[in-house]
Amino acid sequence: MQLENRTAIITGGAGSLGLATARLFLEEGARVVLVDRDEALLEEARASLDKERVLCIAADVSLEADTRRYVAACLSRFGSIDILFSNAGNFGEVRPIAEYSDAVFDAVLAVHVKGAYLAAKHASPHMREGGSIVITSSVAATRGDAGVYAYITAKHAQTGLMRCLAKELAPRGIRVNTIHPGPLDNAFQRDVEAGIGRELGIDGGEMFDRLIPLGRHGSVGEVARSVLYLASDAASFTTGTMLMVDGGMSI
């Protein structure tokens, strides 16, 4: 029971990685607040989880008012915050720079970067000593690919945010790290691969498998276990780091 009597906020909580992490946190004794914009998916998640230890909040992580609201709801229900898993994300599109949509670029940075910033801004003042913030970045934060302007820019930006937070919050014993999944076998990644495949005229899934030294996509369960490590006391001396869970793709 690595997280017994601890409270975790998970944004993007109704998606595959958020929900897999929530289930694992619950198994380890945590109380969990799931935050997601998709109310239907949140309702499905609520129905499958321990209602005594789970709170579901529909919110847009890019809006300050919504962020204040889900933080306040967490404190009202559970009284404390120990873990913030800033996991909400969107992909955008794959286009040449001259054709890239400004609106799409702004929307992707709003969720990944401003969303993580607002979550830390409003949750960290209430976090207990020894807490943990984990931000879902990506192997994309270690590379550049033509056409993936919003997503890759956002993922690089999250690592800068993480490093600033790690410096500021260290005196309170709060650790801040980013986790960097490679391609996962989930709907989000399949959408990414479909977009890249259309733009390049290839099979996006096969392309990624060739780029991964372990030769396969990862599972959300594998990444969730790595998030648990960063959230738990097992990582008590780990802060300001980029944990790669990418099958070697960043080598």
Residues 209-223 have pLDDT tens digits of 888 999 889 999 999
Question: How much is the pLDDT for 193?
Answer: 76
What is the per-residue pLDDT for 51? 85
What is the pLDDT confidence band of residue 31, given thresholds at 50, 70 and 90? very high
The pLDDT-based confidence of 196 (bands split at 50, 70, 90) is confident
What is the spatial distance between Cα 22 and Cα 10, in angstroms, rounded to a whole number?
Answer: 7
> Does 187 have pLDDT greater than 90?
no
Say if residue 150's pLDDT is above 90.
yes
Higher pLDDT, residue 188 or 221: 221
How far apart CA 55 and CA 33 sit, in angstroms, is: 5
User: 222 with 245: CB under 8 angstroms?
Assistant: yes
Q: Give residue 206's pLDDT.
A: 79
Q: Are 168 and 183 in contact (CB under 8 A)?
A: no
CATH class label, 7-182+219-245: alpha beta
- Looking at the chain, list the stretches that DSSP marks H as alpha helix, in order from N- to C-terminal side: 16-27, 39-47, 64-78, 102-109, 115-123, 149-169, 187-200, 204-211, 220-231
| Residue tagged active-site, from 70, 117, 149, 151 | 151
Using alpha carbons, select from 180, 65, 84 the residue that is nearest to residue 131. 84
* Rounded distance between C-alpha atoms, residue 146 and residue 7, angstroms: 40
> pLDDT value at position 4?
97
pLDDT tops 80 at residue 192? no
User: Where do the domains of the chain lie?
Assistant: 7-182+219-245, 185-217
Active site residue 70: no
State the pLDDT at residue 198: 76
Residue 240 has pLDDT above 80, yes or no: yes
Cα separation, 218 vs 11, whole angstroms = 21
In the predicted structure, residue 180 carries a pLDDT above the cut 80: yes
Which of 138, 93, 89 has its CA nearest to residue 114?
A: 89
What's the pLDDT score for residue 210? 85
CA nearest to 82, candidates 46, 158, 30? 30
Is the pLDDT assigned to residue 199 strictly greater than 90? Answer: no
pLDDT given at position 117: 98
Confidence of residue 165 (pLDDT cuts 50, 70, 90): very high
pTM of this structure: 0.93
143's CB contacts (< 8 A; 6+ apart) are 152, 250
**In this model, does residue 8 exceed pLDDT 80?**
yes
Query: What pLDDT, in 10s, does the model give residues 94-110?
Result: 899 999 999 999 999 99
Residue 80 contacts residue 128 (beta carbons within 8 Å): yes
